[in-house]
Amino acid sequence: MKLFVYHTPELTPTDHLPACAVVIDVLRATTTIATALNAGAEAVQAFSNVDKLLQVSEQWDAEKRLRAGERGGKAVPGCDMGNSPLVCTPEKVQGRRLFLSTTNGTRALQRVEDSPTVITGAQVNRQSVVRYLQAQQPETVWLVGSGWEGTFSLEDTACAGAIAQPLLEACGDEIVGNDETVDAIALYAQWQDRLLEMFYQASHGKRLLGLNNTADLEYCAQTDIFDILPVQTEKGVLVKQV
């Protein structure tokens, strides 16, 4: 197994795909995906385009769907909710499909959707991702941060490091595929006991704080609270691994 970390989807190679892609958007798409599936959502279907989300979701019974749209940290008009994981309670999402479009995370998912295996990771389900990779040993793994509109984000790279660190400890240096993997592990090592503090310093964290989303930051900073792995079963559709 070789691990490659990419800070944004735009930095991934364009001439090939990995055996397994792990999409990371800690603030907040992949945290929301894990939370929704853990709370009993039937699936999460991701869209990079809000108009396409509205079009496809219109084919579903209104009682069986939730439209979640976010741009710039704010909820999209016409959707049932934004991108806050705190909204994804069992009462809200049980048995429903979450149709999701966000500024960054859903774009990253689209970039790697043709990979043989696509999963999502965040701090909240970090250990589930590690266990899966240890068990499956895919030949190549891309840990793809979503970033912010094409630029680097602290929280996504730190989460990539949180996933890579125990794999490095178990498998040795030969697992490292690029310098960014070493960079991510070092970043996580520096902040692992102060993730919320790091979120407060991160540009997107500050953006969310400005929108009064302090509770979301606190929630997203939690590590290993869910034993759940979102897995793509068809392009853009993620379900809970059973």
86, 95 Cβ separation under 8 angstroms: no
3-state SS assignment for residue 81: strand
Hey, which residues does 121 pair with through a beta bridge? 24
* Alpha carbon distance 65, 43 (integer Å): 10
Q: Read off φ and ψ for residue 203, nearest 5 degrees.
A: -60, -40
Q: Give, rounded to a whole angstrom, the gap between the first and last alpha carbons of the chain.
A: 23
Beta-sheet pairing, 237-240 with 230-234? antiparallel
Q: Quickly state the pLDDT bin for 74 (edges 50, 70, 90).
A: confident
Under DSSP, is residue 192 helix (H, G, I), strand (E, B) or coil? coil
Let me know: does 230 contact 35? Beta carbons within 8 Å: no
User: How big is the CA angle at 105 (ends 174 and 180), to the nearest 5 degrees?
Assistant: 25
Given a cut of 90, whether residue 73 has pLDDT beyond it is no
Sequence-distant (6+) residues with CB within 8 A of 191 are 154, 158, 197, 198
Cβ atoms within 10 Å of 6's Cβ, excluding its own? 27
Residue whose token pair is 């993620």: 238
Q: Are 67 and 78 in contact (CB under 8 A)?
A: yes
pLDDT single digits (tens) 193-213: 999 999 999 999 999 999 999
Q: Which amino acid is present at 92?
A: K
Mean pLDDT of the chain: 95
The predicted-structure confidence for 131-187, as pLDDT tens digits, reads as follows 999 999 999 999 999 988 889 999 999 999 999 999 999 999 999 999 999 999 999
Q: How confident is the model at residue 49 (pLDDT cuts 50, 70, 90)?
A: confident
Is the separation of the CB atoms in 192 and 162 below 8 Å?
A: yes
Q: What is the pLDDT of residues 75-93, one digit of tens each?
A: 888 889 989 999 999 999 9
Structure confidence by residue, pLDDT tens digits, 214-229:
999 999 999 999 999 9
Long-range contacts of 193-199 (CB under 8 A, 24+ apart): 195/123, 195/155, 195/158, 195/221, 195/223, 196/221, 198/154, 198/155, 198/158, 199/27, 199/154, 199/155
How many CA within 13 A on the CB side of residue 111?
Answer: 25
CA distance 227 to 127: 8
